[in-house]
């Protein structure tokens, strides 16, 4: 039986952290991945929603061609 020991707890693992709610100041547990919110959380006190913060996407620069 081959046992592959995968390295857990690397970059892709979400981390549970408490963040103060910007509305009421309540500490809300949010899941962070690489320092960004990776799962929606709702403040139990006021209902404020912590939205997912996607990783920045590098968009190729486009030059609008409206030369005419
Ligand atoms: Zn709140």
What pTM does this model have? 0.63
What separation in Å is there between the alpha carbon of 13 and the centre of ligand 1? Answer: 26
Residue 66's pLDDT band (cuts 50, 70, 90): confident
Q: Which residues surround ligand 1, an ion (CB under 5 A)?
A: 21, 23-24, 26, 43, 45-46, 48
Q: What integer pLDDT is reported at residue 57 of this predicted model?
A: 84
Q: Average pLDDT, stretch 25-51? A: 95
The predicted structure's pLDDT at residue 41 = 97
Distance 1 CA to ligand 1 centre (A): 51
Query: In the numeric block, which tokens belong to residue 12?
Result: 């892709």
The dihedral region occupied by 45, where left means phi > 0, alpha psi between -120 and 50, and beta the remainder, is alpha
Q: Please give the Cα distance from 34 to 36 (Å, whole number).
A: 6
CA of 51 to the centre of ligand 1 (A): 13
User: What is the average pLDDT value for the chain, to the nearest integer?
Assistant: 85
pLDDT digits (tens, 9 = 90+) for 40-63: 999 999 999 999 998 888 888 887
């Amino acid at each position: 039986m081959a046992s592959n020991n995968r390295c857990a707890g690397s970059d892709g693992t979400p981390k549970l952290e408490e963040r103060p709610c910007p509305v009421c100041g309540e500490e809300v547990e949010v899941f962070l991945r690489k320092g960004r919110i990776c799962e929606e959380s709702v403040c139990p006190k006021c209902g404020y929603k912590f939205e997912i913060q996607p990783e920045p996407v590098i968009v190729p620069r486009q030059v609008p061609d409206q030369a005419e």
